Each structure stands twice: as C-alpha cells, then as structure tokens.
Structure 1
Amino acid sequence: MSVQLKLMEIETYIGQYHILQGVSLEVKQGEVTVLLGRNGAGKTTTLRTIMGLNPAAKGIIEWKGEQIQQYQTFRIANKGIGYVPEDQGVFPYLTVEENMKVAMKTNNEATKERLEYILQLFPDLQRFWKKNGGYLSGGQKQMLSIARAYVNENDLLLIDEPSKGLAPIMVEKVMESLVAMKETTTIVLVEQNFMMASTIGDRFYIIDDGKTVQNGTMSVLRENEELRRKYLGIA
C-alpha cells in the first residue's frame, strides 16, 4: 500500500504555546491510522495542522508527494481531504438536508450515489431529513458530521473524537459506519475510546507532549500492556 500522507518533524504554535514539537507519521492508503495519547498531547492540533487551520511553523506535510504545509485550508480540502471536527460543526438552524447540501462540492451522479449509501449507513439522517440540525441528538449530530465529510469523493478523512460524549449504543453505530467507510476511504482517527480505536484501527501513532513517541500495528499495541499503561494510562 502506498503512503498517501506524510508528516515530517511538524512543529505548530497556538499563540505563544509550542503545541507540536516534532510530530512525524505516515498514513497508508486504505488503512485506518489512529492517533493516541493523553489529553493535551497534541492530537487535535495535528489534525488541524494537516488541514491548515493551525499552520505548521516548521516541518513538511506531503499529500501524495506534494508539499501542502503552506496551503490554505480550502485548497487542502480541494485536494481530497475531509475533516470531521471534535465539536461536529453542525449548522443548528439548517435542516439535515441543507447541512448536506452545504457540504457537497458537486451534485454529480457519483455524489448522489454516495449520498444514497450514506443514508443507508445512517438511517436516522433520512428519518430527520427535514429537521433542523439542532434538533438531533449528540449521536445523530456526529453521524451528520461524518456524513458531510464522506459525501464528497475525499481520499482521506480526518476524524476527531467521534465517540466523545456518546451513549454506548451510538458508539456502536459510529464504529459500524467507520468500518464500512474504511473499505473505500483512508482514515486518520483521533479517539480516546481504546476499545473503538483498537477494533477499527490498522496502525497507531502515540503523541506525547507534542512529539511522536511510538508507532506500529494496532495488534502490537493490543498486546503491549506496558506501552498502553505508560502513554495511555490503561491496562
């Protein structure tokens, strides 16, 4: 499998704070790469830096061999990278249908087919198609947020904490949808729920104090209790 996305010694500041101090990783096509680490380690900032929302001060970001670290966010999105933020970003006063239409870059046959597929994955969205986004539950908003990123023909999805604050039954539904999506789309996932991360992830990178400290296949991390305890605080 080819490497789609590559970060090399990325450093990022937010105001006066030096958040990322040397993040390096590779994302292979067709895999789910999970970013793990304690709260405040720099995982969300890594996704935001890839999207140009918190521009990199140093280092290189390559997307399919092209350096994109100086690009504006809209240009990065147009390269085929979708972003699902931690706060979901749903427009509360637009209907589910309008939220989807705002997100759709095109209205061609391929997009329509993807929309039909999404509504099969997330039947709640079809059920509340004419309801405002603010009417949805937390889990339904998360589904809508993921659906908006997936409806376009993106080659990569960056998904930040999709299970955060969700009831267990909704976590199961989100997991099922991501497992289905990984058949056609590469995913970089930030996720604190280790059960979810280890179930759907192929590879992991652990970020600690703004630096990449460990990486490997998810099977290695599942079997390495010492590593989990040291960096994630879980047995």
Structure 2
Amino acid sequence: MLLKVESIETYIEQYHILQGVSFEVKKGEVTVLLGRNGAGKTTTLRSIMGLNAPSKGKISFKDKEIQGLPTYQIANLGIGYVPENQGIFADLTVEENMKVAMKKQDEQTMKRQEWILELFPDLKKFWKKRGGALSGGQKQMLSMSRAFINNSELLLVDEPSKGLAPIMVEVVMNAIMELKKEATIILVEQNFMMASTIGDRFYIIDDGMTAYEGDMNVLKEDEALRRKYLGIA
C-alpha cells in the first residue's frame, strides 16, 4: 500500500471539516475522491500535504507516518500536489515556472522535462510566455507539469477539469492517463465522465467522512448510489 489515511480529522479555524476520512491508495492506480461541493475532498488533499494538518488520525506514505510533517518534507518524500487554483507563478514564464519547481537540474530531470513537453506541446510552444497569459487549459498543463517534474511517486490532483472547455477537458484527461503510467494518482474531480474513465477505485466523502468505497466499475453501474451521494444519474 503506497498511502494509507486512517480516520483523520481536520479543522479549519473553528470549523470541523474532516470528521473521519479513511482510504487506501495502491501503487499504480488512480484513486478518485468523490462527493458533493463542501464535502471535504480538497481539505483531504491539503491534509495529506500538511497544508491543513489533521488534529487526529494517521497518514502513512510507504509505511512512514507523515501527519505533522511540514509540507516541504512531505513533498521531498515524493508527493506532488496540483492545487485547485493551479498554483503557478503568473509573472514568470513557462520556462521559469518549470525551473523554480525543479529540485535539481540533472540529466534525469531534463529527460523528464522533454517527456512533459511532448505530452503538453502547448507548453513548448509558449515556453517564453508568462504563466498569467496562458489559457485556463494551458495553466492546468503547467501546474501538472510542475508537480511531475521531480518524478513524484504520488500525485494529488485537485479538480483539473474545473472551468475548462470540453476540448481542454479531453486534453487534460488524456494527459492524466499518460501520467498514470509513471505515477500513482489521487484525483478529486466533479466531472464524473472524466473521473469514471480515469479512475480505478473510488471513495465517496460525505459531510467530512468516508461514506462509501469500491471499484469504479461498480459506481458506473449503480445509478442509485450516484444519485444519493453525487446528485447525478
């Protein structure tokens, strides 16, 4: 088991956001966290990264407990994070954004950058363009590329299709399918078509707690379950 989250509880100021979230992530799979808006999915990713430290529970990455560690140490263990707001530097060029994200500029990192630019040709085309001037889809590509440039073993990807045109959703979806060959992924995604196409297993978070889990094919076939927890047919 690559990652194990056990009964974590997380507060943001006085608000008790997570009240018992548990799930496991197997190496090589895409694990999808589903739930209605405000259920606690983003807070779960931020808790894993130490951005909102859990007050209770345990998070283990490769059998090492990481709850309570500072975010930079968690990242150095091999966990990359693509936040919902993309987290790129608007005033830096695409090239500069990539360089800032690199832990080192060795041969392996440069080869990975070449692979990323083949995956996202738009980034190569706009290599000298400022991040803030990119389209929404291009910003998402850059955010994902920054998270993967250091060969992260686990990628946390939050709402990659949010606000994107359908054609860009398809581009991002295909990119995640390619990234899946290189890394294990935890995906938070409201677009069920995208989530169900990419995901291997799912966990539904409802009111800050893990409510249901299973193989993604089960959820595809269970309309009543989708209606109950996701509000979709």
TM-score by length of 1: 0.99
1:227 to 204, 225, 228: 225
SS in 2 for 1:7: strand
SS in 2 for 1:40: coil
SS in 2 for 1:199: helix
Deviation sequence 1:133-185 (CA, Å, 0-9, x none): 01100000000000000111110000000000000000000000000110110
Match of 1:113 in 2: 111
Code of the aligned partner of 2:16: H
Match of 1:215 in 2: 213
1:57 to 55, 58, 67: 55
> Residues of 2 paired with 1:215 and 1:114: CA distance?
34
Deviation sequence 1:11-43 (CA, Å, 0-9, x none): 000000000000000000000000000000000
SS in 2 for 1:215: strand
Identical counterparts, % of pairs: 70
1:200 to 198, 201, 206: 198
Deviation sequence 1:114-140 (CA, Å, 0-9, x none): 100000000000000001001100000
SS in 1 for 2:113: helix
Match of 1:8 in 2: 6
Match of 2:163 in 1: 165
> Residues of 2 paired with 1:226 and 1:108: CA distance?
51
Code of the aligned partner of 2:201: R
SS in 2 for 1:229: helix
TM-score by length of 2: 0.99
> Residues of 2 paired with 1:30 and 1:88: CA distance?
24
Q: Structure 2: 5+ residue runs without aligned partners? A: none
> Residues of 2 paired with 1:6 and 1:106: CA distance?
29
Runs of 4+ in 1 over 2 A off after TM superposition: none
Output aligned runs, 1:2-81, within 5 Å: 3-81=1-79
1:146 lines up with 2:152 in the alignment = no
1:135 lines up with 2:133 in the alignment = yes
Backbone CA RMSD of aligned residues = 0.4
Deviation sequence 1:171-223 (CA, Å, 0-9, x none): 00000000011011000000000000000000000000000000011001001
> Residues of 1 paired with 2:121 and 2:151: CA distance?
21
Q: Structure 1: 5+ residue runs without aligned partners? A: none
Return the offset for 1:106: 1.2
Return the offset for 1:97: 0.1
Deviation sequence 1:19-76 (CA, Å, 0-9, x none): 0000000000000000000000000000000000000000000000011001000000
